[in-house]
Amino acid sequence: MNRQLASWYSQALQKEMPIVSYGYSGFVLLLVPTAAADYLEYERFQLIQSLATQIHAGKLRIFSINSINNESWMNNEILPEHKAIRHNDFNHYVFNETIPYIRNIVGSNTMIYTSGASFGALHSMNLFLKRPDIINGCICMSGVYDLTEYTKGFWDEQVYYNSPAHYIPNLNNEWYVDKIKASRNIHIYTGSGNYEAPDANKRFSQILWDKGIWHDFDIWGGDIHHDWSTWCKMLPYIIDTKF
């Protein structure tokens, strides 16, 4: 498998940020890690290998970046409002550095979709919804789209603007809504097993439907747990059947 490592000093984050890519052709899947994990997490837990057939066939090309959750929402050494500020730095890093970097490699016509599991699903959804002009959709697995699940009771304007379950009901800007609706590639999947949150996913799905936003939504069974074995089955299934 074609695997390439790169890195640059991020102006948004003021630190070196590595990125890894797999494959040579096809649409782009930009993977956002879970929790406090790094850019190689999806490789370590065999998710990249689970997509090997599609990657080798040139159906998709994957890019994977670091998270900074341990500097933002999971950093209990800083004030809650500073967590939100740091998270916004991450958004700027993706929008203003990562997407242009990928575009420089794959060209202007290649579709780019964000994707992630667990906390990475929330970020993937949020990144797409905030910039549907430069991101073409998202594949989100086992997520919860209410950011207050991670803020330990803290609430401010920046939590609101990074919590899809809160800002989508009030999103009335026609430009954004039309761009989001035009995607037709919003995929929300979860299981019903241990540590999954099917009811939270149902609520968010209804929020999208209430705004007239089409999406592909599926809840798998009680034997589907919040774990890598789930995501290594789920993502190849979505790629094979929906793309």
d(CA 168, CA 162): 10
Locate 131 and state its tokens. Answer: 């910039």
Which two three-digit tokens encode residue 114? Answer: 């964000």
Q: In whole angstroms, how far apart are CA 137 and each of 23, 90, 130, 132, 225?
A: 20, 19, 11, 7, 25
pLDDT at 36: 82
The answer to whether the CB of 142 falls within 8 A of the CB of 196 is yes
Taking the C-alpha atoms of residue 223 and residue 231, their distance in angstroms, rounded to an integer, is 13
The tokens describing 47, both together, are: 């998710």
Partners of 112 in the beta sheet?
A: 28
pLDDT of residue 21: 98
- The pLDDT tens digits along the chain (243 residues) read 899 999 999 999 999 999 999 999 999 999 999 988 899 999 999 999 999 999 999 999 999 999 999 999 989 888 888 999 999 999 999 999 999 999 999 999 999 999 999 999 999 999 999 999 999 999 999 999 999 989 988 999 999 999 999 999 999 999 999 999 999 999 999 999 999 999 999 999 999 999 999 999 999 999 999 999 999 999 999 999 999
- Specify the pTM: 0.96
**According to the model, what pLDDT value does residue 122 have?**
97
All domains of the chain in start order, with CATH = 3-242 (3.40.50.1820)
User: C-alpha 167: how far from its chain's center?
Assistant: 17
Give the per-residue SS3 of the chain: CCEEEEEEEECCCCEEEEEEEECCCCEEEEECCCCCCCCCHHHHCCHHHHCHHHHHCCCEEEEEECCCHHHCCCCCCCCHHHHHHHHHHHHHHHHHHHHHHHHHHHCCCCCEEEEEECHHHHHHHHHHHHCCCCCCEEEEECCCCCHHHCCCCCCCHHHHCCCHHHHHHHCCCHHHHHHHHHHCCEEEEECCCCCCCHHHHHHHHHHHHHCCCCCEEEECCCCCCCCHHHHHHHHHHHHHHHC
Q: What is the pLDDT of residue 114?
A: 98
Contact 166, 125 (CB under 8 A): no
